[in-house]
Structure 1
Amino acid sequence: MDTTQNDRPGQDSSPGVSPNQDLEKQVVDALRTCYDPEIPVNIYELGLIYNVDIQPGGAVNIRMTLTSPMCPVAESLPPEVETKIRSIPDVSSAKVEVVWDPPWTPAMMSEAAKLQLNMM
């Protein structure tokens, strides 16, 4: 399953939801608990998560970026993301790859994040 910032999964879990969809929701929920300490918005809503790929068997691969290559949390945020994803019971492994292309811009933030930061 492949989730991109523009393809956010729904928030509701219903009886017809497949196990991968449920795991995807759990992964996204975990991502929403990770913050860049300089910005009071979670990394998912900030648009720092470019791709969530859930493989059969529960292997999760995440492609993410940071607000800048000089970001002070460059060393700590990706391992935090990996740890939180690995803590989900149905996840067998987690890999976080930091990428710089495309470069992050504030336009990648969700509307909710822009509202929270008074950018709308």
Structure 2
Amino acid sequence: MVTAAAVVPDAETVMAALEVVNDPHVPSSLRRMGMVAGVEVAPDGGVRVRIRIPCMACPGTAMIRDGVHDAVAALPGVTAVKVVEAWEEPWTRDMVDPATRRLMHDNGIQI
């Protein structure tokens, strides 16, 4: 019996999957918050996601890492997920998209 191998997702598909992972403090995705620094997908289905954490002592880091891992691991064809902090590319307020800025402003969250 021959079974079809799962197709490895591309980086764009992985990025789209990350849209469901929200910042723990703001009801907006990590992508819209500018917290996804990059995605690399290996031919064998291994995925490495680099995330920007707004501050060194962020209490939501484990929650963010777990959410990213779970969202990516659920994609067909993904064989492994590694989530790393991109400290070499610090997060700045300028990375937040305009719609999320308005949402934050409207809800009294300063940025």
Give the shorter-chain TM-score range.
Answer: 0.7 to 0.9
TM-score by length of 2: 0.76
User: SS where residue 75 of structure 1 aligns?
Assistant: helix
Q: Structure 2: which amino acid aligns with 1:47?
A: G
Identity within the alignment, %: 25
Unaligned runs of 5+ in 2: 1-6
Aligned residues: 100
Structure with greater Cα Rg: 2
Post-superposition offset of 1:80: 2.0
Q: Higher relative contact order at CA 8 Å, sep ≥6: structure 1 or structure 2?
A: 2
Task: Verify: 1:26 aligned to 2:13, yes or no.
Answer: yes
Structure 1 unaligned blocks of 5 or more: 1-18
Provide the rounded CA distance (Å) in 1 between the counterparts of 2:102 and 2:63: 27
1:80 to 67, 89, 93: 67
Q: Which runs of 4+ in 1 moved over 2 A?
A: 22-26, 110-119
Aligned to 2:57: 70
Aligned to 1:102: 89
Superposition TM-score, scaled by structure 1 size: 0.71
- The alignment yields a C-alpha RMSD, in angstroms, of 2.1
Q: Match for 1:64: what amino acid? A: I
